[in-house]
Structure 1
Amino acid sequence: MPSFLQVAVLMALVITAAKGAGALSKRLGQPAVFGELLAGILLGPTLLDILHWPLFSDPQYLEHLVGDLAELGVIFLMFLAGLETDLQEMRKVGAAAFSGAAGGVALPFLSGTALGLAFGFPVYESIFIGTILTATSVSITAQTLLELGRLRSREGTTVLGAAVIDDVMGIVILSVVVALHQAGMAAAPLADQAAAAAGPEGPAAGAGGAGLATVALILLRMAAFFAAALAAGRWVLPWLLRQAGRWPGTEPQFAMALVSGLLLAVAAEELGGVAAITGSYMAGVMLALVPELKQAVEERLAILAYGFFVPIFFVNIGLEADLVQSVAASGPGFLVLILVAAVLGKIVGSGLGVRPFGFGWMEALRVGIGMVSRGEVALIVAGIGLQEGVISQAVFSVMVVMTLFTTLLTPILLRWSFGRAPGSPSGAAAYSPIPGSRSGEAG
């Protein structure tokens, strides 16, 4: 069978499984995303391992292709989340979002590092375990809140704002740890000579100086990107889309909106040093400030994303890991404690972080739960650690299981928390996530 037909068969299997499992999940009272994630686990190496069926002659190519399509899916999903973000409401919860993000970074980082040291891992590897636990992937939370009609609620806007801040904090910590590890590795072979020539504190001072310079460069790079992206999104992007709306042809305005979201995603990662999803989310937020452009883009993007790319993203999470092998490689004790730290670290850290800003206990709990999912962000951070030699394959396997666990658990806990107490957001907050559709059909 030609390769393009194999791709067609695989896409048909993935999308059918995702939508079927999503529909079954909703019949059982859970968000559709929960079923889509379970479908990925069942189709992956944990059970069926469809990429290695005899039908597919080049599983490595298909794995790479599905991964790329999944990355596009999360970019489009965050573009949609940005379009549904009310910036005025987010400004009202700005201080709470920052405090929630800080708490959701500090407690998981400290608990992950402490667990690593307690189980005898080297210092840098333990610190990197904590770094991975700081990650938050808001895409799962955003999808679930969209289905529940709660994305514009106070808790929803706080979670989205905190996740963006969390991303910046996490990338700074990641960059610092990797930079200092590289500096330490470079200094190690010359430690004896440096100690003789410059004294025992010489190499450490050099490594510390290099680390500080790296941190300063990272911060400047991020600040420059955010300033440029905000300026472009506020003034250039609306003008460009209005001009494109006058072009002849089919859907030129929507096409330019897609181009803008994709290019901002590329710029975020390659120029700003933050996750690509941050760039696409910012593109959506900026367009949301212009109602006529938001309306022109949102429904078309939702059809493209939810009909094709987003199901691939959710299924691909399960296709990337073998749960049985991961548990065997790490040992159950360390794995269980990491899972507990990953969940409670975010719930307690972010929840307590927003409490001083007028959030009740149930509202704070919802914010903390919304920060639990690690998604693709943790996998990216863990992959960097493995590539740089900071963490072992066994630790990486634990992080994969942790990512899957938190990603699966978040929709369940969110659904429970919003149905737990009276006074849940209603009216304008309980809107249909896709214009013209019934609530809950987005997944």
Structure 2
Amino acid sequence: MTLLELAIILGISRISGYMAARLNQMNVLGQIIAGLLIGPSVFGLVHSDHVLEYMAEIGVVLLMFLAGLETDTSELIASGFSSTVIAAGGVIVPFAAGAWVGLAAGVTLPEALFLGTMLTATSVSITVQALREMGKLNSKEGIAIMAAAVIDDVIGIIVLTFVTGYISGGTRILPLMEKIGVFAVAVAVIAVVLRRYSERIVEVMRPGTRIITFALVLCFSMAYFAEKADIAAITGAYIAGLILSNYSTKEKIVRGVEEIAYLFFTPIFFISIGLKTDVRAVLGDIGFSLLVIAIAVLGKVIGCGLTARLVGFNWSEGFTVGVGMVPRGEVALIIANLGLKKGIVSQRIFGVSVLMVLVTSLIAPPLLKLFFHRAENTKNGE
């Protein structure tokens, strides 16, 4: 990658992100589309290489570290049984349906498992914006969506951990469980030590940017050791963020890491997703692409809707919660990219996953408004 290509990537990522925001869409969508346009599929201005991939990998790790930092662990614990049940339904149904569709389409078992995993994680940021605009953020459905989305991310990471370990371990369950067990014990010890001495650490690290450096050292170290344990590096980064999420200097850490991540590394990651997507492969297999998108939508609507009904929501409210969980975003792309990097996911599945993220992100807000409108009509009719 030349310096000119880097300049093009950073410039186009800023412009495309701004244009997406003006259209009330996520910056991520604009950056992916920009990557498609400047990549080999369209204009061929920039090509992916090892240098770009390395920078994109750093962006992914920082992105998941921020996700862990911004997870409210107290809310996670307090969200209760009903939100956990809803989140579990929204993970199990899309995962099982996605893996089954993959196998039916003739892909290998590892690739089918990755396809199912891609469909598990919700990107709630789009739903939050739609709920805000409708004044429904604090509604019964809105609160359920927010709580379930937090748990949904955690369950999705757990699923990814087991799928990655299962594939890397050559389907040997016992060695996989041993590695995950050792890693879990090590994480627990680190978490206890860092929580117990948090005030002392903050006192020593508070001046200047020391605490940010400390946070980054923890992030990259845990990502490295997770990978050594045949667990995805992003899992280690996410856990590192969770460990520091209750620190008094959390906001300072978040601001510092965001400056590094969002100004440079994460735009490179999302542009690289577009660069690596073969548009011709996706369009040439449009039937399969549409089937995966349908599974992505129905999996969340049915999985969350049915489980919401089991924990006290009526049908209308339950399916509204399901629609709110439909959008996919960063985590799905990170999982797809990980599969492609490891040689597990083909260009076919990778391209389908990118299209799935774009479509689910675009259709979720109007669907949510429609379901809320129907729910209100149902209540008025009663």
Query: Under TM normalisation by the shorter chain, which class is it?
Result: 0.7 to 0.9
Which residue, out of 216, 228, 234, partners 1:277?
Answer: 234
Following superposition, the deviation at residue 216 of structure 1 comes to 3.3
Is it true that 1:176 corresponds to 2:133 in the alignment? no
Which residue, out of 322, 344, 367, partners 2:298?
Answer: 344
Distance 2:143 2:194 in 1: 24
Instruction: Give TM-score scaled by structure 2 length.
Output: 0.79
Unaligned runs of 5+ in 1: 53-61, 184-210, 387-394, 423-443
Which residue, out of 155, 179, 190, partners 2:145?
Answer: 155
The 1:253–1:384 alpha-carbon spacing in structure 2 relative to 1, beyond 3 Å, is: closer
Asked if the contact 2:17–2:27 (Cα under 8 Å) also holds between the matched residues in 1, the reply is yes
The 1:66–1:145 alpha-carbon spacing in structure 2 relative to 1, beyond 3 Å, is: farther
- Indicate the SS of the match to 2:219: helix
Q: For 1:197-236, what aligned pairs fall within 5 Å after superposition?
A: 211-235=172-196
Residue identity over aligned pairs, in percent, reads: 26
Distance 1:130 1:213 in 2: 19
Asked if the contact 2:118–2:336 (Cα under 8 Å) also holds between the matched residues in 1, the reply is yes
Which residue, out of 201, 212, 230, partners 1:240?
Answer: 201
How well do the aligned residues superpose, as a CA RMSD in angstroms?
Answer: 3.5
The 1:320–1:239 alpha-carbon spacing in structure 2 relative to 1, beyond 3 Å, is: farther
* Residues 158-193 of structure 1: per-residue CA shift (max 9 Å, x gap): 3232222222123324443565xx57xxxxxxxxxx
The 1:307–1:109 alpha-carbon spacing in structure 2 relative to 1, beyond 3 Å, is: closer
Matched AA of 1:409: V
The 1:281–1:288 alpha-carbon spacing in structure 2 relative to 1, beyond 3 Å, is: same
State the partner residue of 1:268: 226
Distance 2:308 2:324 in 1: 11
Asked if the contact 1:41–1:318 (Cα under 8 Å) also holds between the matched residues in 2, the reply is yes
State the partner residue of 2:79: 93
Is it true that 1:103 corresponds to 2:103 in the alignment? no
Q: List structure 1 segments (4+ residues) > 6 angstroms apart after TM superposition.
A: 145-150
Following superposition, the deviation at residue 240 of structure 1 comes to 3.2
State the partner residue of 1:310: 266
Unaligned runs of 5+ in 2: 374-382
Which residue, out of 111, 115, 121, partners 1:132?
Answer: 115
Matched AA of 1:279: G
Asked if the contact 2:39–2:276 (Cα under 8 Å) also holds between the matched residues in 1, the reply is yes
Is it true that 1:78 corresponds to 2:54 in the alignment? no
Distance 1:405 1:293 in 2: 38
Distance 2:164 2:279 in 1: 26
Q: For 1:398-417, what aligned pairs fall within 5 Å after superposition?
A: 398-416=348-366
Instruction: Give TM-score scaled by structure 1 length.
Output: 0.69
Distance 1:178 1:259 in 2: 26
Asked if the contact 1:108–1:342 (Cα under 8 Å) also holds between the matched residues in 2, the reply is yes
Q: For 1:380-419, what aligned pairs fall within 5 Å after superposition?
A: 380-381=338-339, 383-384=341-342, 386=344, 396-416=346-366
Following superposition, the deviation at residue 293 of structure 1 comes to 0.8
Asked if the contact 1:101–1:166 (Cα under 8 Å) also holds between the matched residues in 2, the reply is no
Distance 1:32 1:371 in 2: 11
Which residue, out of 275, 286, 296, partners 1:319?
Answer: 275
Matched AA of 2:353: T
* Residues 385-421 of structure 1: per-residue CA shift (max 9 Å, x gap): 63xxxxxxxx712211222012223432454466664
Asked if the contact 1:347–1:368 (Cα under 8 Å) also holds between the matched residues in 2, the reply is yes
Aligned length: 360
Distance 1:136 1:229 in 2: 31
The 1:176–1:311 alpha-carbon spacing in structure 2 relative to 1, beyond 3 Å, is: closer
Is it true that 1:251 corresponds to 2:209 in the alignment? yes
Distance 1:154 1:403 in 2: 26
The 1:102–1:176 alpha-carbon spacing in structure 2 relative to 1, beyond 3 Å, is: farther
* Residues 360-397 of structure 1: per-residue CA shift (max 9 Å, x gap): 332332134358962121332355463xxxxxxxx712
Which structure's CA Rg is the greater one? 1
